[in-house]
Structure 1
Amino acid sequence: MRTGINWLLRIIFLFVFLAACGTFIPRPLIAPVKASSAAASHRILLLSGPIHTDIAIQLGEETRAAFSFLDNPDFPLGHPNAEWLIIGWGGRAFYLETPTWTELKPLPVLRALTIDRSVLHVDLAGHISEPQPAVAAFDIGDDQLARLRNFISDSFVRGAGTVKPIPDAGYGEIDRFFEAKGYFNALFGCNTWTAAALRSAGLRTGLWNPLPQSLRLSLGVYN
């Protein structure tokens, strides 16, 4: 019994140690040199929950054009009241089958802790109030925003040149799920994808950010 407890404590200590290293070792290690003429004129948001993060991009003309492949009557990207495009990546079983904590089931949790196929979740939002604890804002330039859009666009699985929506999947009337590239597990999951997306936009994250709290802390320290 005591041996089992000792091993459990060692595993917990190792995870805490790795999480701390992942948070406070920056990625990239050396801060990129920013062009002095690059105006940070575009606002993006990191939206955080207890275990998941999303990215929100302002719906300007260029962003609507870049994601025009999402636009249809069920997902009105051009709606005048839509101010933000919200994107998140995650494990297929957990993401699709757990819209709320009250609907938590054992099998999706097991898939999340092992390995699962991935999906992208997209939604539209109107005004998002700032500041608030679950929202972190960053201002980036034209090139950074273009790289972020490309990173997200490249995360969609395509067949015959078109993205692959998941039929009848969504939490509300507008949001949609799509097949995504990559595989999900709890150690390299939604928050590490979010971190990679933000790095594509020129932000520095931690070396490994498996939790929203770790990612927010890294972003606050290095940006």
Structure 2
Amino acid sequence: MRSFLHILKKIGKIALIIPIFALLYFLSAWMMASLPLNEEQPKGEITLFLVSNGVHTDVVMPLKNDIFDWSDVVNPKDTLSANPQITHIGLGWGERNFYLYTPEWKDLTFSNALGALSGLNRTLIHVTYYPFEPRENS
């Protein structure tokens, strides 16, 4: 009987610890989200586009604008084509094997899906250069 009471006490402590950790987690997230950051960023608007092939999605934005110049980070002149007509850049991020071996849904394998969902594999950033602004619904 004594060991049973000991087990119940341990279960009770664990049952209290879980909600306390959850409360501390949400409290700290709320506090950090309330901190003001980047208040002196330049004002302005940038048009962003979402471009998808049905499997992968890229965020497409102007290569250069008053706020940021992406060519300082990923310059199109460093590519094989070195196309000087580039006006927009598309960035996508994801699990490496999923990006490389799943260009279409028919190419999806169980192991690639599991690897992408696990979050344990290597990731990559996919960069696409556009010599034009993407058209809506294209």
TM-score class, shorter-chain normalisation, is 0.5 to 0.7
Q: Give the letter aligned to residue 45 of structure 1.
A: F
- Aligned-residue CA RMSD (Å): 3.6
- Deviation digits for residues 170-197 of structure 1, max 9, x if unmatched? xxxxxxxxxxxxxxxxxxxxxxxxxxxx
Shift of 1:84: 1.2
**Per-residue deviation, residues 118-163 of structure 1 (Å, max 9, x unmatched):** 1111111222124x5x9xxxxxxxxxxxxxxxxxxxxxxxxxxxxx
Distance 1:93 1:37 in 2: 36
**What is the identity, as a one-letter code, of the residue corresponding to 2:73?**
A
- CA gap 1:29/1:46 in 2 versus in 1, 3 angstroms: farther
SS of residue matched to 2:135:
coil
In the superposition, the TM-score normalised over structure 1's length comes to: 0.37
- Letter of the structure 2 residue corresponding to residue 128 of structure 1: P
Query: Counterpart of 1:40 in structure 2: which amino acid?
Result: G
Task: Supply the distance in 1 between the matched residues of 2:92 and 2:122 (Cα, whole angstroms).
Answer: 14
Amino acid at match of 1:71: K
Matched, 1:122 2:127: yes
Matched residue pairs, number?
104
Residue number in structure 2 paired with 1:79: 84
1:188 alignment partner in structure 2: none
Q: When the two structures are superposed, what TM-score results if normalisation uses the length of structure 2?
A: 0.55
User: Residue 64 of structure 1 corresponds to which residue in structure 2?
Assistant: 71
Any stretches of 5+ residues in structure 2 without a counterpart? 1-28
- How far does the alpha carbon of each residue in 1:36-81 deviate from its partner, in whole angstroms, 9 at most, with x for none? 893314333344676754222201273223323x6335253x531x
Is 1:103 matched up with 2:107?
yes
User: If each structure's strand is expressed as a fraction of its own residues, which one has the higher value?
Assistant: 1
SS in 1 for 2:103: coil
Sort the Cα spacing of 1:98 and 1:67 in 2 relative to 1 into closer, same or farther, 3 A: same
Change (3 A) 1:29 1:50: farther
How is 1:100-179 mapped onto 2 (pairs within 5 angstroms)? 100-114=104-118, 115-125=120-130, 126-130=132-136, 132=137
Distance 1:34 1:112 in 2: 32
Q: Judging changes above 3 Å, is the alpha-carbon distance between structure 1 residues 75 and 116 closer, same or farther for their aligned structure 2 residues?
A: farther
